[in-house]
Amino acid sequence: MPSNKSVSDAPIVQFTNCRILKDHQLQREDLWVREGKILNPEKLFFDEKGSADVQLDCKDSIIAPGFIDVQINGGFGVDFSLATDDFKSGIDLVSQKILSHGVTSFCPTLVTSPPSVYHQVLPQISVRNGGAHGAGILGAHLEGPFISKEKKGAHPEHCLRTFEAGAFQDLLATYGSLNCVQIVTLAPEMRRSSEVIRELTKRGICVSLGHSVANLSQAEEAVQHGATFITHLFNAMLPFHHRDPGIVGLLTSDKIPAGRRVFYGMISDGIHTNPAALRIAHRAHPKGLVLVTDAIAGMGLAPGRHTLGQQVVEIDGLNTYIAGTKTLSGSVATMDTCVRHFQEATGCSVETALEAASLHPAQLLGIEHKKGTLNYDSDADFLMLNDSLYVQATYIAGEEVWRQDVSGM
């Protein structure tokens, strides 16, 4: 057998008998992996005269890029907005547990909190690759406190803030550091928000519009200054109105700068967004839809009382409310559930549903050259799924990190 030693000693794994999500289509071809990357088999055969060291029969599974969750507040009893001494072990627990739901990378999300919480928590979040220890961390998503009082949702009003004269300095003083920050959600109608959006964008931080009473022209202006995302569309914003569609109008706006795409998060849990609203958004702007869980500490736990930052929340089935009210506060849905619900509700193709949780969030964060696709040389973070889109196995950097236990079935 020809050797591949000339280029690399690393073993080459060939995944056979599978359908790969590539170029927006499920294609019947093998997947080749070496040193944590997707390999081009033609180069291997013709340039290196190499072949696979290991072959794995996927038994006709779908292979899709790993899911990327850009808005997750916690789960399994861990709340990312609580400053605790064992915060690191909490984030490790969540990153381990979400592997079974197909999430290979995520943005731990902090809801509106006092400055002291940001100052304690943010230094404990570090960007890191995924592996057997858990999903990779892409950076924090800071949702608030620079948001609208009228649309605060589950965010505590006493912690909300506005931008004063030195707007960007206010933000820095509140957060303490932007070192590991990937996304900031703010309300674009706030005075001086434009300069903040420009400064954040300049630093490579994604600005998302949410918890807001902005009209369409304020939202368009924010996009012209660099905003590229909408936090949980339809939730915590003005409802669509035909004379001024508000932030929702960005989906079909003709004032988006050339070459720019606006993405929008959707909590596809069957609770936060009626299936008809999900269909409207998807049909209006399919390439911008990003599935997010907006999961809270109660995800994966029994119904009852749990926390979301400074608030107590009550879980009743799939509904999560601020205790004693009917204000929705995050979700307990897992990412694989959201993907299946999205496909069912919209009747979209399997490919479209999978890309909403992988390719689109990667494009939003500008990391699509390494995550969110199965293109050659991209990171070998991928899932094996059955035809009903249930995750059977999760791989990070080409290594199996989770597999469905079928022994009891």
pLDDT, position 317: 85
CA 308 to chain centre: 18
Q: Which residues are annotated as catalytic?
A: 294
Q: Which residues pair with 295 in a beta bridge?
A: 72, 331
pLDDT, position 24: 97
Q: What is the mean pLDDT of residues 216-243?
A: 97
Whether residue 330 is annotated as binding a ligand: the answer is yes
- Give the pLDDT confidence of 98-140 residue by residue, as tens digits: 999 999 999 999 999 999 999 999 999 999 999 999 999 999 9
Whether residue 274 is annotated as binding a ligand: the answer is no
The domain segmentation of the chain, as residue ranges, is 65-365
Q: Are 394 and 400 in contact (CB under 8 A)?
A: yes
Whether residue 328 is annotated as binding a ligand: the answer is yes
Whether residue 297 is annotated as binding a ligand: the answer is no
Instruction: Say which CATH class 65-365 falls into.
Output: alpha beta
pLDDT, position 408: 46
pLDDT, position 96: 98
Whether residue 211 is annotated as binding a ligand: the answer is yes
Nearest to 195 by CA among 178, 171, 228: 171
Whether residue 73 is annotated as binding a ligand: the answer is no
Measured between alpha carbons, how far is 63 from 159 in angstroms, rounded to an integer? 44
- Give the pLDDT confidence of 358-382 residue by residue, as tens digits: 999 999 999 999 999 999 999 999 9
Measured between alpha carbons, how far is 227 from 218 in angstroms, rounded to an integer? 11
Question: 333 is written with which tokens?
Answer: 């849905």
Question: 238 is written with which tokens?
Answer: 């003005």
Give one word for 344, left, alpha or beta, with left for phi > 0 and alpha for psi -120 to 50.
alpha
Q: What is the mean pLDDT of residues 171-179?
A: 96
pTM of the model: 0.96
Whether residue 143 is annotated as binding a ligand: the answer is yes
Give the model's confidence band at 318: pLDDT under 50 very low, under 70 low, under 90 confident, else very high. Answer: confident
Share of the chain above pLDDT 90, in %: 91
What are residue 32's phi and psi, to 5 degrees?
-115, 135
pLDDT, position 44: 81
Whether residue 356 is annotated as binding a ligand: the answer is no
pLDDT, position 1: 42
Question: Is the pLDDT confidence value at 4 over 50?
Answer: no
